[in-house]
Structure 1
Amino acid sequence: MPAPDWTELTRFALALAEASAREILPYFRRNTAVEVKDGPVWDPVTEGDKAGERIIRKMIEERYPDHGIHGEEYGWKEGTSPFTWVLDPVDGTRSFVCGMPTWATLIGLSHEGKPSLGLMNQPVVGDMFYGNPEGAWHSYRGATQAIRTRSGISLSQASIGTTAPELYRSEENQRRFQRLKASAQLTRYGGDAYFFCMMASGHLDIAMDCGLQPYDITPLLPIVTGAGGFAAEWTGGDLSKGGNVITAGSQPLLDEALAIMSA
């Protein structure tokens, strides 16, 4: 079987992001109706989420009909190829319904079960981050540059980004997080997927979140690793399946963070 053409697949992912933005943006800051999914926490969904995923799925099915698709809003479509697209059309819907431009469209592509291509698009700000086996990049208002993580930082010097402390719901995860927070220089909240891209760009040192679904993290891992970062599921689980995910700009920093969390 020929090697994947990552250049062509990346171009297609960028086209998916641009098409989804055209579908999602008409619902942003319009006080659009909010549905609430079943579950233990308030989990909103809007027509913007659904419209974004519909256009992405339509374009994939037309271009690559044998590829699998796993989306947050419309579930699984089994494929017959080694490729599966993993989609979160509006990651950070709570931010979306509050009018904050910290939500993002996440588009990932797994090859033979491994997250291999990923994209994060924030069309209001104009930020597009993407990564594949050849590297990671940031596009902003027409200019594109390669990105790299920051290295040589110890935990005592590190900045941490995570969505919200209350999402560490179990007592054990809360203890782990509080130990890590107490050992770092700075902790910021509310960035959702943005934090992982800021870490990949060298502006943060650790990005982490608890209880992630595959569509929350699969699109971000190729950006993190393509930029030279490292990732782990802190209970030892399979990163491609989500869970409790921590990423860092260097392996020594990740090891130091995991040691503190498991102390």
Structure 2
Amino acid sequence: MNKNFNYKIYFNFLNLLAKQLTKYYYSKLDKPFKISNKLKGKGYDPVTTSDKAFERFIRKKILDRFPGHQIMGEEYGFKKTKSDFSWVIDPIDGTRSFVTGNPTWSNLISLNYKGTPMVGLANFPKLKKYYLNKDEKNSYLFENGKKIKLNVNSKVSLKNAKIAAAFHGYLSFNKQKKIQKFIKIVNFPCFDALTYAQLAEGRLDVVVQCANKIWDVHAIIPIINAAGGILTTWKNENGKLAGNILASSNKLNHKKILKLLKPAT
């Protein structure tokens, strides 16, 4: 436990912010929006007017309450200060889902202390639920006025594991051919950050994703860790580095999957 870090302040702030974000969505953003492609013809990376509105809303809430803190957001860049505290924001994780009307998109917000993600919020306005950790040992699902403690399915063996993976065109066909043994045991699709949250809930046991940016994964790390899970890169480095990510519900399965993924690293 970090003595300089007061979990309660940030947990309370994010617990309230989750409700404010959902309210903001239904009062202001639940209407037609404009889409543009960030990659301008060299691929497809959509951004909407709603992404930008959400990020402005989140930044204002943080700045009002913690004016000295650093902020890094996907749409509006880095506000640098001398603070040890930095907020990492993905205003809409799953913009493709948002664009097509799938309800699995979320607002992801992480508070990092000296570079380490300490508290994470994954808020799902359309699903009317959110995931948030209270400290290093406790994370919760908040739904229908209930607060449910999250625990990974820590006893599951690899042969009985529910495994979700998505390569999203980021892993070349040649690399995919090298990890056929892994691909053969994948039995569930991925739905944005919701898939990671479902691992924390014990609904899935292994999640493998490619090309995560820091704002895709930082909020998820403390939620999964506090639920008893493990999250690293495919090279078994600290998950906060982002990139290709593996999350598992126990160490043994994590080691086995790292081995299966190794030919593609």
TM score, norm. by length of structure 2: 0.90
Moved more, 193-202 or 227-236: 227-236
**Cα displacement string for residues 59-90 of structure 1 (whole angstroms, at most 9, x for unaligned residues):** 11111111110111111011222111010011
**Cα displacement string for residues 127-167 of structure 1 (whole angstroms, at most 9, x for unaligned residues):** 211123241111101000211000222222111223x4433
Q: Deviation of residue 11 (structure 1)? A: 1.0
Per the alignment, residue 161 of structure 1 pairs with 164
Q: Deviation of residue 177 (structure 1)? A: 5.2
**Cα displacement string for residues 35-74 of structure 1 (whole angstroms, at most 9, x for unaligned residues):** 1112743111111111111111011111111111011111
* Corresponding position: 1:181 with 2:193: no
Per the alignment, residue 4 of structure 1 pairs with 5
Letter in structure 2 aligned against 1:195: T
Letter in structure 1 aligned against 2:158: L
Letter in structure 1 aligned against 2:176: Q
The 4+ residue runs of structure 1 with deviation greater than 4 A are none
Per the alignment, residue 35 of structure 1 pairs with 36
Q: Counterparts of 1:172 and 1:233 in 2: how far apart (Å)?
A: 20
* Corresponding position: 1:147 with 2:150: yes
Q: Deviation of residue 170 (structure 1)? A: 2.7
Q: Matched residue pairs, number?
A: 259
Per the alignment, residue 45 of structure 1 pairs with 47
Letter in structure 1 aligned against 2:96: R
Q: Counterparts of 2:225 and 2:178 in 1: how far apart (Å)?
A: 24
Per the alignment, residue 70 of structure 2 pairs with 68
**Cα displacement string for residues 194-227 of structure 1 (whole angstroms, at most 9, x for unaligned residues):** 0101001100001121011000000000011000
Per the alignment, residue 55 of structure 1 pairs with 57
Per the alignment, residue 197 of structure 2 pairs with 197
Superposed counterparts of 1:81-230, under 5 Å: 81-131=83-133, 132-162=135-165, 164-171=166-173, 173-175=175-177, 178-182=180-184, 184=185, 186-230=186-230
Q: Deviation of residue 172 (structure 1)? A: 5.6
Q: Deviation of residue 2 (structure 1)? A: 5.7
Q: Counterparts of 1:167 and 1:13 in 2: how far apart (Å)?
A: 33
Letter in structure 2 aligned against 1:225: N
What is the identity percentage for the equivalent residue pairs of Structure 1 and Structure 2? 31
Per the alignment, residue 248 of structure 1 pairs with 248
Seen in structure 2, the aligned counterparts of structure 1 residues 62 and 215 have a Cα distance that, compared at 3 Å, is: same
Q: Deviation of residue 247 (structure 1)? A: 0.3
Q: Counterparts of 1:261 and 1:141 in 2: how far apart (Å)?
A: 39
**Cα displacement string for residues 101-132 of structure 1 (whole angstroms, at most 9, x for unaligned residues):** 01011010111111111010112211211123
Seen in structure 2, the aligned counterparts of structure 1 residues 173 and 198 have a Cα distance that, compared at 3 Å, is: farther
Structure 2 unaligned spans of 5+:
none
Structure 1 unaligned spans of 5+:
none
Secondary structure, in 3 states, of the residue corresponding to 1:150? Answer: coil
Q: Deviation of residue 238 (structure 1)? A: 4.3
> RMSD between aligned alpha carbons?
2.0
Q: Counterparts of 2:117 and 2:111 in 1: how far apart (Å)?
A: 6
Q: Contact between 1:23 and 1:48, CA under 8 Å: does it hold in 2?
A: no
Secondary structure, in 3 states, of the residue corresponding to 1:232? Answer: strand
Q: Counterparts of 1:176 and 1:76 in 2: how far apart (Å)?
A: 38
Q: Contact between 1:24 and 1:51, CA under 8 Å: does it hold in 2?
A: no
Q: Contact between 2:164 and 2:204, CA under 8 Å: does it hold in 1?
A: yes
Q: Deviation of residue 237 (structure 1)? A: 4.5
